[in-house]
Amino acid sequence: MSSADSIYSHLLGFITESGFRFPQLDIAWKSWGSLNEARDNVVVVCHALTGNADAETWFSGLFTETGILNPDEQFIICMNVPGSCYGSTGPQSVNPETNTRYASLFPVLSIRDIVRAQQLVLDHMKIREIQLVIGGSMGGMQALEFAAMDKRVKSAAVLAAGARHEAWAVGISEAQRLAIQADANWQNGDYKPEQIPRNGLAAARAMAMITYRAHQQYNERFGREKREDGLPQVVSYLQYQGEKLAERFDPLSYVRLTQTMDTHDIGRGRGGVEKALGKITIPILVTGVCSDLLYPVDEQKRLAELLPHGIYREILSPYGHDAFLIEFRQLNNLLKEFIYTIKRSEKTAI
């Protein structure tokens, strides 16, 4: 499968909702397929918290022969969010005006800031229509904001995300941030490249893994089993996951992006959630996971109910929140049904 990746540099300055000005904003992106002549065969894929632009890796089940993403017909693009550490401008990027790293001065971006940054790339490509925006978790927050902010979007799929970040999720994020900030190397975010607070990030990731999966799945997978050295299997698993993320992700990016997720509120500045959602008239598939501890299905059901053309569907899985990255067979079927429903409605309208 052919793909291309690049970095778009916006050199005209970018001002965030909080008023911070970036003299230059870089957005790393990767694409599959080709733009048609009308520049309207576009699918935008939005990644989750620690994801990157290589959607084919973490959304692999949607890129198969029977998957919903088809580079032979679609131009599929995924952009790494600003604030991350995978090519887009982030905390460890150098400010061209000061020639020093942003570090702790890097601002808390909003989900809307992220969507506005991604729109710059799409505008640069002269995209005329976006057939579908799809994303899960933080990616779902972006998909919903795209639906509210960009008139080019014709449909969206919001997976395992709600209309706003509720207190439960904010609290979980804050506990993870406190773990990172308790690391002796944290230095208020101004840590040196050779003294990264990896232990704090590993602890934060271990906390997150508890909320990404479900009670039943942990019991079935680990039970009370121990390794030969006496360490419980579940402890070994969480240590491994923490160390694995600490080797590939920047702790300050993790802090800032969890703070970004906390800004998510579709109703902020729009008269409240109900009023804001009532203005989104495109078809939106809202998908919950029956065992999701982080974003319980009641949040997705309410989101779908408040959208004029919202459709709620549920993934049945013991894997918890992470099911949207695992249960590809179910997800593909739900997406195919959604797209078929849209096409049938269009034919009826004609």
- Token readout for 48 is 């989750």
> How many angstroms separate the CA atoms of 271 and 176, rounded?
31
The verdict on whether 155 is a catalytic residue reads no
The verdict on whether 137 is a catalytic residue reads yes
Q: Which of 47, 292, 317, 322 is catalytic?
A: 292
Q: Which of 84, 165, 321, 322 is catalytic?
A: 321
- Token readout for 158 is 């919001």
- Token readout for 257 is 């992006």
Residue matched to tokens 């009532």 = 278
Q: Terminus-to-terminus CA distance in the chain, angstroms?
A: 36
Q: Which of 84, 93, 137, 155 is catalytic?
A: 137
Question: In terms of DSSP bridges, do strands 21-22 and 3-10 run parallel, antiparallel, or are they unpaired?
Answer: unpaired
205 in Cβ contact with 241 (< 8 Å): yes
Instruction: Return all residues near 71 (Cβ < 8 A) that are at least 6 apart.
Output: 1, 2, 3, 32, 33, 63
Helical residues (DSSP H) of the chain, grouped into ranges: 55-58, 111-124, 138-149, 167-181, 198-212, 215-222, 233-248, 251-262, 273-278, 297-306, 328-349
Residue 299, CA distances (Å) to 88, 114, 140 in order: 31, 22, 13
Task: Say whether 9 sits in a helix, a strand or coil.
Answer: strand
- Return the sign of the alpha-carbon dihedral for residues 203, 204, 205, 211: positive
57 in Cβ contact with 69 (< 8 Å): no
User: Which is nearest to 68 in space by CA: 317, 330, 260?
Assistant: 330
User: Which is nearest to 147 in space by CA: 115, 123, 121?
Assistant: 115
Query: What is the Cα 218 distance to its own chain's centre?
Result: 24
The verdict on whether 165 is a catalytic residue reads no
Residue 95: strand pairing partners: 100
Catalytically annotated residues: 137, 292, 321
